[in-house]
Amino acid sequence: MKIKSKMFGLMAGALFCAAGILTAQAQNSYITFSVDMGTNILNGNFNPGSGDVVNVRGTFNNWAGTETPLYQEGSSTVYTNTVPDTVDANGYPVLYIFNITGPDAGYEGVASYNNRAAYTPTTPGATLVLPTPFYGESGAKVTNYVTFQVDVSEQIVLGTFTNGISGVEPWGDFNGWAAGKFVLTNNPNILTTNEPSGNVTSNVWMGTFPVVGSPWSAQDFKYVITNSTSYESVTTINKDSGGNRFFAFNPNSNVTLPLVNFSDEPYAPLSSVTFSVDMSVQLYYGNWVFSDGVYCEGVNNNWNQNSSTAMTNNASASNTNIYYITIICPEGSQQDYKFTYNNGAVVYENPQPPTLVDGSGNRITVIASLSSTNLPTVFFSDLSINDLLSVPVSVTFSVDMADAVEYGTLGDYPGQPFANTLGYVFLNGAWLGWPTWTPVNLSSYELFQEGSSTIYTNTFVIPEGTAIGITYKYGIDGYDDEAPSGQNHVRYVRSTVTGAYSFPTDTFGNQYNEPAFGELSAGSGPALTVPVRWLGAPNVQLQTSTNLATGPWVSHPETGGSVFLGTENPSTNGLISVTNWPASSGSLFFRLIKQ
């Protein structure tokens, strides 16, 4: 079997410089955040006179816990601040949560058990003034009625909903995510004109029900087809951090939620879509064998390993390790999916940048308006043979717990500083298959205090065949309580020369993701040499050329991280490779390639 390498030229000239160009970034929107701390002040768990500060963190400030403090509004118990949001696209959700820093440090818990969410303005530069909830949903609960409505026209076309047999309901924390609580009925008086056919249907199901909650509490839900327990798949523009629809509970009046299409799929023609994945690399490293099967899960929200998601190969093809499946999908629909196999347990792939993924790390594709289409063949987890460790490596993980606080409500001490917990630190990660977060399951991956410092550390063997980009997360007392679900650390094993590698020290709660490679630079050095520095990896090497425009580019495999030991201490992004390149007359250009 022959596997081709992919090369990406990044950077260039060691012997020329490019002028930097600065551009001003337009503001997407301005957002006014506010929260009522009255109940917390009354209960003694927010004391601004003793150094407590309430902050807001979220997608707008890259989840920075202290960069956006809120300020008291006059002499009231409301704290507020208006800040620019240059991160979230207009018309898309901004995700956020309130937290306290100071003696009573902690995070709030919300009704949805996820982050708060709101739509940003559709007009660039506009201002959004958010309602004022109570911190931690601590306000006195009230009851108001909420009307839910959903169109299932496309599900009828797909055959996943049958009038007279199927039912549809909204499930959420407000009704315990339970069936039979909020049963919707068809309203034949609501007619929709479907494009491009122009036909008219009456497939809207709706109902009005009492919801109890703290004023402006964060609520989330999904519509579910009940006879098959099929949860809808909400598109990126409409979902919160838990992948659900969301609304803030209005304490002042009844609310009618917008009419939406189930899974945000409007009535549309159907397309025959072929998905394909190359398992060659996984087979080469022994991660996968033919009997494990290959599945394409998630399309049309079908997250099952069965005959409807099983993929097959072409026994007469030149590469028999490519597996295919053709699935009927609505044209224009967003499909979130992953390739999987089963070696006794379900193994999900972990797609790599630049693949577009949703908040749960699933692939995203929008189906073309074609009667049939073939999506490009990808490697499982987007990993070529050069992207995986060719030898086992002992990797040292370290994390600073000085300002660590349990995130969310899952831990034994939600919102509490590390000093107030049991004091255990565990590691979990993609290379382990993400075991369930419990102390028992993670007992072999505990980190231990380094002397009397705030650093916790341990060394673990990462096996051959694992991606060099390691995705992982820390937890206090065995819980997924470092950051919101799906927000992880990513660092790269940049050298395998010695069989050991140490990651830079992480900060608990700062979900840092290293760049894969880059930072190429060159300068003046000792006579007849040019110092060249770069952020490398086993799948990265230098190339040189004497002509920037025409090449040819000469590869130097001896500079790859599998054979070259960097000569500088680790930076924020790990080991920096440095070498003094012999100089000669004329020009010499450098660039990095990823194999």
DSSP 108: -
Give the separation between CA 220 and CA 234, rounded to whole angstroms. 12
Q: Which residue, among 100, 90, 99, 79, has the nearest Cα to 32 in the 3D structure?
A: 79
pLDDT attached to residue 5? 34
E runs forming strands in 254-380: 255-256, 260-261, 270-278, 295-297, 312-313, 322-330, 334-342, 346-348, 363-366, 372-374, 378-379
- Residue 271: other Cβ atoms inside 10 A: 19
**In this structure, is the dihedral angle defined by the CA atoms of residues 112, 114, 116 and 121, taken in order, positive or negative?**
negative
Q: How far is CA 134 from CA 38, 413, 584, in A?
A: 8, 20, 69
pLDDT in tens, 446-503: 999 999 999 999 999 999 999 999 999 999 999 999 988 878 999 999 999 999 999 9
What is the distance between the alpha carbons of residues 144 and 212, in angstroms, rounded to a whole number? 7
Rounded Cα distance between 470 and 468, Å, is: 6
Q: Comparing C-alpha atoms, which of 422, 417, 397, 419 is closest to residue 407? A: 417
Residues 44 and 24: their CA atoms lie apart, in Å, by 44
Beta carbons of 110 and 134 less than 8 angstroms apart: no
Rounded Cα distance between 533 and 550, Å, is: 24
Res 508: pLDDT:
94
Helical (H) or strand (E) element with 83: strand 78-85
Q: Residue 527 is encoded by which pair of tokens? A: 């006579």
Q: Quote the distance between the C-alpha of residue 412 and its chain's center.
A: 25
The pLDDT tens digits for 204-248 are 999 999 999 999 999 999 999 998 899 998 998 999 988 899 999
**How many helices and strands, by DSSP H and E, does the chain display?**
3, 43
Q: What is the DSSP letter of 553?
A: P
Q: How far apart are CA 581 and CA 577, in angstroms?
A: 12
Gap between the Cα atoms of 225 and 170, Å rounded: 9
Write phi, then psi, for 175 (nearest 5 degrees): -130, 25
Contact 33, 58 (CB under 8 A): no
3-state secondary structure of 42: helix
Q: Specify the pLDDT at position 198.
A: 67
DSSP secondary structure, 403-472, as one string = T-B--SSSSSSTT-BGGGS---EEEEEGGGT---SSTTTTGGGEEEE-TTSSEEEEEEEEPTTSBSEEEE
Q: Helix (H, G, I), strand (E, B), or coil: what is residue 304?
A: coil
Q: What is the pLDDT of residue 10?
A: 36
Residues in the chain: 595
Q: Which segments in the chain show pLDDT lower than 70? A: 1-27, 194-198, 409-411, 525
Checking DSSP bridges between strand 500-502 and strand 455-462, what pairing results, if any? unpaired
348: three-class secondary structure by DSSP: strand
Provide CB contacts within 8 A for 507, sequence distance 6+.
399, 400, 403
- Of the candidates 179, 177, 170, the residue with the CA atom closest to the CA atom of residue 209: 170
pTM: 0.69
